[in-house]
Structure 1
Amino acid sequence: MNVNFLSFSANNMPAFRQVGEKQLPNPVLCMAWSPKRDLIALANTTGEVLLHRLASFHRVWSLPPSEYTGKKITALAWRPDGKILAFSLGDTKQVVLCGVEKAEILHMFPVQSPVTCMNWMEVMEESSVLSSFYTSEDESKLFLPKLPTLPKSYSTTSKIFSEEKSDEILNLLGEVRLNVLVLGGDGGNVELYAYGMYKIATLDGVSGTCRSLSLSSDLKSLSVITEVKSADSSADICYVQLDTGLLSDCLPELTRMARKFTHISTLMQYLHLSLTCMCEAWEDILLQMDHRLTKFVQEKNTSTQVQDEFLELLLWGQSSPELQALLMNQLTVKGLKKLGQSIESSYSSIQKLVISHLQSGSEALLYHLSEVRGMSLWKQKFEPLGLDSGAIDGAITAVGSFSLKANELLQVIDKSMKNFKAFFRWLYVAMLRMCDEHVPPELNKMTQKDIAFVADFLSEHFSENEELFNRKGKYFNVERVGQYLKDEDEDLVSPPNTKGNQWLRFLQESTHLKESPLLFPSYPQKSLHFVKRMMENVIEHCLQKPAEVIGKSVKQAVFLPLYAISEKPENTPRLFELPSLWNDKKNKMHCVVFCMPDISPCKLYLLQKGTDPNRHIPNSFMSVDLSLYHDNADDDGAAAQSHCAYSCLDARFYDDQMLTVVLQGSEEHNSRRILAQLSLASSLSCDAEFVLEPSMRLDQQCSTIPCQTLVLGNQWREMENMKAEFVAVNGIRKVACVLSANFRHIRVFEMDVEDEDDEGVDSLNVSAQDGLATTITSQGPVEESEGEAREQEGEAVQNTEEQLESEEAL
């Protein structure tokens, strides 16, 4: 075996330029570099997500946990364009999409099981069909008006979005090119989300807990590292390759379907927020009249009906002492005026939201569902993906019913506003006369038609209802709009009166139109909330079917047990642990790097597997010997060599040809830590053959795996005064972030240069900020003074801990 020498003499200048160092107050759970900018995202044990820039590791913003998200972050992933950050929450089983520029939550969706790892990949496969699709304009913008901005005056939307912009919701799609967010969880649950929003596949056949995963850029296969529990206290680390050929074969159709379904998902969220704003626009004060009348019935001694007493006041101007006490003492002239203003304001707000938001969103939803239905009729192209025209027809019908119910609510609002205006105008004048106050001349005039209108209103709304009292605790339902906004399964207390409607009578008498699929059912007894939930369930079923069909098409192509591990303490974060997966887009290979510390602690293992399972490519296995030789000098100046066996603490793929590793020396050499770059070109080009025995684990036949000696050259740097253990890298930006064993001490390096002097970090700030967008540097919502104070406190604690660790080592 050839031995390569590595000199550690003091004259060697350290490789890589250190541009930042920080002591963090809370331990870091996971970290990931942005694929496009010099930004790194961190998640700590408090559930906080932080974004730091390269220069001096300066913080841009932080997103604290909230009751709407959760506190236990389990994984991080960047969208390939670097504009959205996804993170998963184990305590609430949710995935959150966060805007990078303003630290705002853009979208959230639930998952079946807690996510343990995630990967966000952009499809790089090109075709003539896709190229024309990428360059074509979204035709929906030509036919559909722009959706109005969500109101800013309601609290619920502000809890979800820091700025209530409908554009932020609909711009989640990003670029036209397809990108897929892959989530792996407990029990082998794997889910694929197009554009990070629409689920295109659900996989249940993977055994064990997912530790790492990578979807190939050509969509031909998905590689997964799983941890399979054994009967004893140990577990097996296994490599699984899944054949996702259907996604690759139907890539143009999949992209079109995913774009449409993601539009549909965002529109459903838009309708949900619009209805939430409507519910907040409706005020509890509108029920004041119902409660006052119910109390009046319970306390009065006469057997006269309430509507009769009001009609007597209307026709003869006379009222009973009980009614006069109700009007003057409980309702009061001032209270009546305030109630009238509240009803008018609330109804106007709800009416505007229905017209501008619900109707616009429903029209856009019908448009996109109709296009999806057209796609489903092209069975040769879209039937393999699970598009069912019958399910889509049901979704279109459900949206039509929702639109009808919204129009019905508009009619109820319009009628109620006219009724209440006439009623309050008359009652206001009557109460002024009771207290002998002056009545304005413009209010004193009341025609016979106005009297008949108020009489009809009293007859319809002021009749006592015993059944309503048993259900709601009140006898009256004067206010008819709120029943449409209640999120309850019960029927409407006062459904609209359709008696005499010529159109309904015509439909009931027509044999052919009664069952026509062109007519949407109206559900006159149900509320708007009920119809909306029914619509959401139907559309959700329509969206889930392709995910089930595509998921069943995915088959296991390779199952390779790698090695066994002993049970580790639960407080050890698994997010940093090896193995690590890499998608080599250029050579269309999946690469895996791992260690087997129980079998051969001084070796690093590399595995390469072709992304296309249908092409027979031999498995490429290689091990790298981490034994190095030091150049030392004795007292007489004579050169001497000493052997040091290193173990690999962490290893990450820097790019297709380079591996970034953190090495630890033996105790004889003070357990020194090294950050190094390892070239894979020579290691993976070895001609030695390795014949895998499928009936045995890889660690049981590791002695036959070809081995090469570590070659570092000058691409290494000793981590002085730091127990370096984990690393995150970005070969595109040429940066690395090293994390200590206590998860709080961080150093950041530029990897393509060498330090020439020790001028300090400040002189490097300008060059380090070149890759950072101006919008991000200027829009950090976090108060830096508070953040720096917390970090300084953490530094003091950390310095004390490091001093104790040094004393223990001595």
Structure 2
Amino acid sequence: MSYSSAMRLFCQKIFGFKIELMKWCNRMDLLAISTDKGEVIIRRLNFQRIWTHPPPKDGIKVRGIDFRPDEKIIAIGYNTGLVILLDIGTQNEISSFNVNSDITCFSWTQSNKEIEDSTDDETPFASHDTYLPPLPSFTSLSSSARKSDNLPTKSNPKRVINFLVIGLSSGVIHTLVFGILPCGQLDVGAKINVPSSQFQIVDAKLSVDSKQIFVSVKLGNMFKVYIFENELFPTFSLPLLRVAVQHGLILNTMVYIDDVIQSIIEAWETALLEMDIKLAKYASSQEPGTVSADFLELLMLGEPSQSLASFLANELTEKGLKKLGNSFDISYSTIQKLVVEPLHAGILNVCYHLNTVKGMSRNVYYYKPILGKLSNAVFQNAGAFLIKAMELQQAIEQSTRDYKLFWAWLNNVMVRLMEENTPDDCAAFSQQDIIYLTEFLSNFDICDDKDGDAEPMTRKKFNLERVGQYLENKNLEIESRNDTTQEWNQLLEDNHCMKKCELIYPHHKHLSLVQQHNLLKKCIGDLFSTPEKLISKEFRLKAEINCFEVLETSTVVADHVNVEADNVSLLAMLIDKNQLMIIEFNPKSNTFGAVRLVFQARPFIEGNEKFATFGTLKFHHIQFYNAGILSILLDSQTDTRQMNCFIQFPLSGLKMKFAYQKVGFTGNVMTATPLYNFYDLIEPTSVRVIDGFDGNMIAVSGCRKVASILSESQKGIRLYEMEVEDEDEDMETTLDSSATQN
């Protein structure tokens, strides 16, 4: 298949900020750029802005951006170690974590083939669709509801696994399945017995079969490549994929539950905002313990105290009372709907997925190297979370009853205070209603003893309702009054064997819903941290390859690509302006080969005089266009001007020029690598002049057939269409003047 090296200028734009990184999306016409202010901007091919993600805080720098191979999620890494995964379509945050160190390299690697499954068992991939109904939508109940989906199985039904590989300045490399499930931590410094302060990780990439990881390191004045092996990745790829899918399902559901709880909190705060302002002000003006006494006195004697009468007449008012009553009715109705349907369904889904993981762990042969021995804490906390949600539902029902009594009684009081005629529909109270109302009023004053008897009692806020305490990250002030489990609890106390049974879920009466939720999230995090701990122990240093000498202050540009057709990995390294090294690793034959390309003195031999028009050529920046082509940005210096050139260099011709050797524990590439003059390997017609533009960096995509060149000032970008027909090529005249405006 012939390849056209022609390229056509599509558009150009000058920005008002500096651009530090560029990355193309291979499936969509999207270009991600990061700015010197820590922003990440997604733009289309015509520079139309899709969205901008601001930095987590001022002063943070973006160290890496990359699209997940399914092209629906983008990962962003910062110099603080924070990594954020965003949904490209909605900009919603899918996941975030912190690796606690500055990031030096950042890439996504996908396995070269679909994982085989001899059992043809679809259960871990489709059982939730069969047995679990879809989670109910609650967008009509909350403006903050959002749809989140980080599942790889939704966009990629095949059994193909991918890894996010993150290299840190601390000398550690993190690997995460689908960018979410931690599946291995490689401490390079510990493996090579060198302090992390003495070397820098430049590049890290998994091999095509995921068995090996190639780590490019700048150690003093030497540039080295270390090859580490981990047998667990290829051997247990299917169990790892299944665990990652379950992890994604659980995280999706937990995000859904987060949104439900946030919507409940918003509904609760809406109802209490005005009430808190009015009643808290009144409570703060009274002596501790007198608020409940005043209301109880009003209930029993029918006469309010002077302060309470003034508050009811001037602050609360009859109109304000009706408004608050309606507000509470609407809010409590919303809260109850959110608890009964979405929250309950979300917790049941989490329990189902956790039980699936538990079932996996029973298959020791497949899952023990990945999951180890599971703790029962996460499963018990999931059940306890469900019990707490049911307890909240009971609290809502009780509070709704108490509020209706309170508003009706207070409305009667207001009518009497205003000396109006009692309406015919005035509520009548039974003896049981009076008991409920008395208990409700008696709990208005809640005091707190901070340090036992050493500190005086201090008043908390006006404590009118019981639902809000479940939505705060602290213990319940008043536990549920109607405990329907007394007989069950007595049965457990009398039978310790049942009480200790791991199948019986505990009931943490003192915890709020938010506390129980946070406890479950922590247990889930601990559960899925196990694969990382187990897999990290299996990394083995296989080889140390000395590549070349380099100045300690110089920066080596490196790029890595996996050639799936040949099952090899290619590493291109720009040593300096005059030297380019390409290394091929073949895990199957356990060999590696290398070739070094240089620009020797300007040739004026027969057939090469055409290069004289470019003057002296030097390497500037490189990136793999695809597995068979290396894109190279060149500096060109003539007697009259300095400019940039661009070349698409095919790698097929280098196959016969590699000097191969077996991978031993120590290898030396520099002494055994053949040296070739780059002028002899390229055609003058393949060199494209970038006229009137000083380039600093390139970003290319063979899938989208595009290339972008960043200016030396880092404020301008030129976009080129690649592989165009030669007769359509126009480097200078196709620039749209409107696209050059700021």
Q: State the one-letter code of the partner of 2:11.
A: G
Q: CA deviation at 1:365?
A: 0.6
Matches within 5 A, 1:35-46: 35-46=26-37
The 3-state SS of whatever aligns with 1:213 is: strand
- The match for 2:75 is 86
User: Is structure 2 residue 349 aligned with structure 1 residue 364?
Assistant: yes
Q: State the one-letter code of the partner of 1:143.
A: Y
Residue 690 of structure 1 contacts residue 706 of structure 1 at CA under 8 Å; is this kept in 2?
no
For 1:438, which of 415, 421, 424 is the aligned residue? 421
For 1:482, which of 458, 468, 484 is the aligned residue? 468
Q: CA deviation at 1:398?
A: 0.9
Residue 617 of structure 2 contacts residue 637 of structure 2 at CA under 8 Å; is this kept in 1?
yes
The 3-state SS of whatever aligns with 2:501 is: coil
- The match for 1:777 is none
Aligned in 2, Cα 1:239/1:275: closer, same or farther, shift over 3 Å? same
- Normalising to structure 2: TM-score of the pair? 0.86
* Structure 1 Cα separation of the partners of residues 579 and 462 of structure 2: 81
- The match for 2:682 is 712
Matches within 5 A, 1:467-546: 467=449, 473-474=459-460, 477-488=463-474, 491-497=475-481, 501-546=486-531
For 1:58, which of 41, 47, 50 is the aligned residue? 47
Residue 16 of structure 1 contacts residue 751 of structure 1 at CA under 8 Å; is this kept in 2?
yes
Q: CA deviation at 1:167?
A: 4.7
For 1:77, which of 63, 66, 69 is the aligned residue? 66
Residue 278 of structure 2 contacts residue 315 of structure 2 at CA under 8 Å; is this kept in 1?
no
Q: Could you list the runs of 5+ residues in structure 1 that have no partner in the other structure?
A: 1-12, 158-163, 766-787, 794-810
Q: State the one-letter code of the partner of 2:227.
A: Q
Q: Deviations over 1:753-773 (max 9, x none)?
A: 3543677899899xxxxxxxx
- The match for 2:155 is 174
User: Is structure 2 residue 575 aligned with structure 1 residue 596?
Assistant: yes
The 3-state SS of whatever aligns with 1:75 is: strand
* Structure 2 Cα separation of the partners of residues 442 and 151 of structure 1: 37
User: Is structure 2 residue 272 aligned with structure 1 residue 272?
Assistant: no
For 1:149, which of 137, 142, 152 is the aligned residue? 137
Q: Deviations over 1:256-292 (max 9, x none)?
A: 1110111112222222232222222222434467636
Aligned in 2, Cα 1:296/1:711: closer, same or farther, shift over 3 Å? closer
The 3-state SS of whatever aligns with 2:262 is: helix
Residue 632 of structure 1 contacts residue 642 of structure 1 at CA under 8 Å; is this kept in 2?
no
The 3-state SS of whatever aligns with 1:26 is: coil
Aligned residues: CA RMSD? 3.6
Matches within 5 A, 1:246-261: 246-261=232-247
Residue 5 of structure 2 contacts residue 723 of structure 2 at CA under 8 Å; is this kept in 1?
no
* Structure 2 Cα separation of the partners of residues 171 and 32 of structure 1: 21
- The match for 2:722 is 751
Aligned-pair identity in percent equals 25
Residue 224 of structure 2 contacts residue 545 of structure 2 at CA under 8 Å; is this kept in 1?
yes
Residue 632 of structure 1 contacts residue 639 of structure 1 at CA under 8 Å; is this kept in 2?
no
- The match for 1:616 is 590
Residue 170 of structure 1 contacts residue 266 of structure 1 at CA under 8 Å; is this kept in 2?
yes
Aligned in 2, Cα 1:596/1:137: closer, same or farther, shift over 3 Å? closer
Q: Deviations over 1:592-623 (max 9, x none)?
A: 112333xxx533211111235xx532x20111
The 3-state SS of whatever aligns with 2:724 is: strand
* Structure 1 Cα separation of the partners of residues 696 and 483 of structure 2: 77
Matches within 5 A, 1:203-352: 203-206=186-189, 208-228=199-219, 230=220, 235-283=221-269, 284-285=272-273, 286-287=275-276, 291=280, 294-295=283-284, 297-298=286-287, 307=292, 309-352=294-337
The 3-state SS of whatever aligns with 1:279 is: helix
Residue 290 of structure 1 contacts residue 477 of structure 1 at CA under 8 Å; is this kept in 2?
no
- The match for 1:461 is 443
* Structure 2 Cα separation of the partners of residues 146 and 752 of structure 1: 45
For 1:561, which of 546, 555, 558 is the aligned residue? 546
Matches within 5 A, 1:197-208: 197-206=180-189, 208=199
User: Is structure 2 residue 168 aligned with structure 1 residue 195?
Assistant: no
Q: State the one-letter code of the partner of 1:621.
A: A
Residue 599 of structure 2 contacts residue 677 of structure 2 at CA under 8 Å; is this kept in 1?
no
Q: CA deviation at 1:421?
A: 0.7
Q: CA deviation at 1:104?
A: 4.6
Aligned in 2, Cα 1:316/1:595: closer, same or farther, shift over 3 Å? closer
Residue 74 of structure 2 contacts residue 85 of structure 2 at CA under 8 Å; is this kept in 1?
yes
Residue 213 of structure 1 contacts residue 223 of structure 1 at CA under 8 Å; is this kept in 2?
yes
* Structure 1 Cα separation of the partners of residues 346 and 505 of structure 2: 17
User: Is structure 2 residue 599 aligned with structure 1 residue 626?
Assistant: yes
Q: CA deviation at 1:443?
A: 1.3
Q: State the one-letter code of the partner of 1:602.
A: N
Aligned in 2, Cα 1:20/1:503: closer, same or farther, shift over 3 Å? same
The 3-state SS of whatever aligns with 1:622 is: strand
Q: State the one-letter code of the partner of 2:27.
A: K
Q: CA deviation at 1:692?
A: 9.5
Residue 683 of structure 1 contacts residue 708 of structure 1 at CA under 8 Å; is this kept in 2?
no
Aligned in 2, Cα 1:50/1:288: closer, same or farther, shift over 3 Å? closer
Q: State the one-letter code of the partner of 1:608.
A: E
Residue 631 of structure 2 contacts residue 647 of structure 2 at CA under 8 Å; is this kept in 1?
yes
Residue 465 of structure 1 contacts residue 476 of structure 1 at CA under 8 Å; is this kept in 2?
no
For 2:741, which of 792, 801, 805 is the aligned residue? 792
Residue 103 of structure 2 contacts residue 169 of structure 2 at CA under 8 Å; is this kept in 1?
yes
Q: CA deviation at 1:74?
A: 1.3
* Structure 2 Cα separation of the partners of residues 258 and 503 of structure 1: 38
Report the more deviating stretch, 333-342 or 539-548: 333-342
Q: State the one-letter code of the partner of 1:647.
A: K
Aligned in 2, Cα 1:689/1:523: closer, same or farther, shift over 3 Å? closer
Q: CA deviation at 1:379?
A: 0.6
Q: CA deviation at 1:388?
A: 2.2
* Structure 2 Cα separation of the partners of residues 349 and 318 of structure 1: 35
User: Is structure 2 residue 90 aligned with structure 1 residue 121?
Assistant: no
Q: State the one-letter code of the partner of 2:126.
A: D
Aligned in 2, Cα 1:756/1:261: closer, same or farther, shift over 3 Å? same
Aligned in 2, Cα 1:624/1:356: closer, same or farther, shift over 3 Å? same
* Structure 1 Cα separation of the partners of residues 111 and 709 of structure 2: 30
Q: Deviations over 1:104-144 (max 9, x none)?
A: 54443333323222211222323541794679961101211
Aligned in 2, Cα 1:145/1:705: closer, same or farther, shift over 3 Å? same
User: Is structure 2 residue 16 aligned with structure 1 residue 34?
Assistant: no
Q: Deviations over 1:171-225 (max 9, x none)?
A: 7853133222222221122222222222222222355333222222321112222
Residue 448 of structure 2 contacts residue 458 of structure 2 at CA under 8 Å; is this kept in 1?
no
Residue 149 of structure 1 contacts residue 167 of structure 1 at CA under 8 Å; is this kept in 2?
no
* Structure 2 Cα separation of the partners of residues 333 and 544 of structure 1: 57
Residue 620 of structure 2 contacts residue 696 of structure 2 at CA under 8 Å; is this kept in 1?
yes
* Structure 1 Cα separation of the partners of residues 594 and 131 of structure 2: 56
User: Is structure 2 residue 69 aligned with structure 1 residue 98?
Assistant: no
* Structure 1 Cα separation of the partners of residues 611 and 511 of structure 2: 89
Q: CA deviation at 1:34?
A: 1.7
For 2:629, which of 658, 678, 690 is the aligned residue? 658
Q: State the one-letter code of the partner of 1:129.
A: D
- The match for 2:192 is none
User: Is structure 2 residue 563 aligned with structure 1 residue 584?
Assistant: yes
* Structure 2 Cα separation of the partners of residues 689 and 296 of structure 1: 87
The 3-state SS of whatever aligns with 1:580 is: strand
Q: CA deviation at 1:747?
A: 2.5
The 3-state SS of whatever aligns with 1:398 is: helix
Task: Count how many residue pairs are aligned between Structure 1 and Structure 2.
Answer: 716
